[in-house]
Amino acid sequence: MNTQNEQLYNSAGELDPHFGENGFVPMPSPTADYSEFVSRVTAIGPDNMIYIAGEASQGLNQSLYTLTRLNDNGSIDTSFGKQGHFYDYFYQSDRSHFYAEQIIFKNDRIILTGNLYYQANGVVNFDKAAVRFLSNGTLDEEFGEKGKYIFHFPDTDIAAPAYNEECLKNARSKSTAPPRSNQFKPYSREASSVQGDHIILLHTLGTFEWTDSLIIRLTEDGALDTTFNGSGFVRVSHDNFPFLELQSVTVDDTGNYISGGDVRADYYEQPDSIILVKHGKDGSLDTSFQQEGFLQIHDEDPNYGLRLIKTVKQPNNRVLCLGFRFSKVFGELSGFLISREADGASNIQFNSGKPVFTNVNSSTTFCINVDFLPGGNFLTTALVDIVSRERHYAVARFFHNGAIDEDYGNGAGWLVYREAKNFTIEASTIKNNKIIFAVDDEHDNIIHRAIARGLMP
């Protein structure tokens, strides 16, 4: 065995044989009446139980949102909800579609946030929503209105049913395998956050001529916090770009908000640059931050662009941006990590202020998550072989200065979980030195959903 092959062999990430069957737990729909199922978010709670938020559907038009709880060994926790599952329609009927984006744990409660689509007066509405559960898997009716909160933008002059229908179409398409192996559609979530007694949501609205984002702040019991900007939300737009979309928000040490996303000049084109925007704790735009409150981050090479997946708060009040770098000519993909100070300046202690670009075994790669370790080092989760049906997860360990820890993965720097395949909606969670993945398998022209758990050193 030559050195390169030996290194690749040694870097193979093993699945946990004590989880399910050989590291896998099948995830069929919790109800036969809605037989198609997809996992959208995974999380490990303070109780060390495993939570999976997803949707069960019957064709394109009828769906239920779901929340499932697993024991540590992967078995269904039948004490939760209905024999381990909660499932119901979100709004009015099963013609509504709630796509969960995040699971939040607070005060022995479970909060799902996500996007809600439903028809009213013959047109598709696209709203932000949240729902809270008691620890036993039933709705917490003290939250919002009978357990749910729905944010509908109050400006009645915005009529964008065609845009909303396109957003719904894109959300649906991410649940199925791409028709050709060379197609790639990144799955971006509008991440939520908790700040003290507040829940922070991000939402996008617009038309094919413009797109803005909203930062929404709720009280812990599911009502708009009107002390935030006088209305409970802030509308974010950019003077030079008609399309702005925020995907992630972090809260700094003093309670201010730094949101990350991208800006585009044209709806159908790739982003022109990453954008960071800073707001004070009262919702006011912090115009002292970079250029009147905004920071654009470009690739130094005009032949390449950057696509943000999320931002994560670093130690020392810094912000870490992660996603992928793409070639505008060849389409190749590399994961990236970019560290910025609280004022938006480059963190010169992180790769001398430059982006870190990374590929796993020279394969197309993008970074989807970061988990910080004591001392400032961190684990980065990525997807590998992006444009193939064999795409799978990998995990690397980086030092606080952005250098990869080559001792991790037996000298390769990465643990590569080739058995943990995913070609639809990626989701992963690291806790207790193990990693949970949402995975897919395809045979007999059917996509089979499962949860896998990987071992980590």
What are the domain boundaries of the chain? 1-27+318-457
First to last CA, the chain: 24
**In terms of DSSP bridges, do strands 294-297 and 304-313 run parallel, antiparallel, or are they unpaired?**
unpaired
**In terms of DSSP bridges, do strands 123-133 and 148-151 run parallel, antiparallel, or are they unpaired?**
antiparallel
**What is residue 421's predicted lDDT score, i.e. its pLDDT?**
92
Query: How far is 445 from 141, CA to CA, in rounded Å?
Result: 41
Query: How far is 204 from 116, CA to CA, in rounded Å?
Result: 12
**What is residue 3's predicted lDDT score, i.e. its pLDDT?**
33
**What is residue 189's predicted lDDT score, i.e. its pLDDT?**
66
9: number of Cβ within 10 Å: 12
Q: Are 132 and 140 in contact (CB under 8 A)?
A: yes
pLDDT digit string, tens, across residues 366-404: 999 999 999 899 999 999 998 787 899 999 999 999 999
Which residue's structure tokens are 């070639």? 327
302, exposed or middle or buried, with CB in 10 Å at 0-12, 13-18, 19+?
exposed
Least Cα distance to 339 among 400, 388, 420, 380 occurs for 400
CA torsion, points 194, 321, 302, 335, in degrees to nearest 10? -120
Query: How far is 103 from 427, CA to CA, in rounded Å?
Result: 11
**What is residue 375's predicted lDDT score, i.e. its pLDDT?**
87
Ranges of the chain with pLDDT below 50: 1-10, 181-182
pLDDT digit string, tens, across residues 132-159: 999 999 999 999 999 999 999 887 566 5
Identity of the amino acid at 122: G
* Long-range CB contacts for residues 356-360, cutoff 8 Å, separation at least 24: 356/398, 356/402, 357/325, 358/334, 358/382, 358/396, 358/404, 359/334, 359/335, 360/384, 360/394, 360/396, 360/414, 360/416
* CB-facing half-sphere around the CA of 263: CA atoms within 13 A: 19
Least Cα distance to 242 among 221, 259, 267, 279 occurs for 267
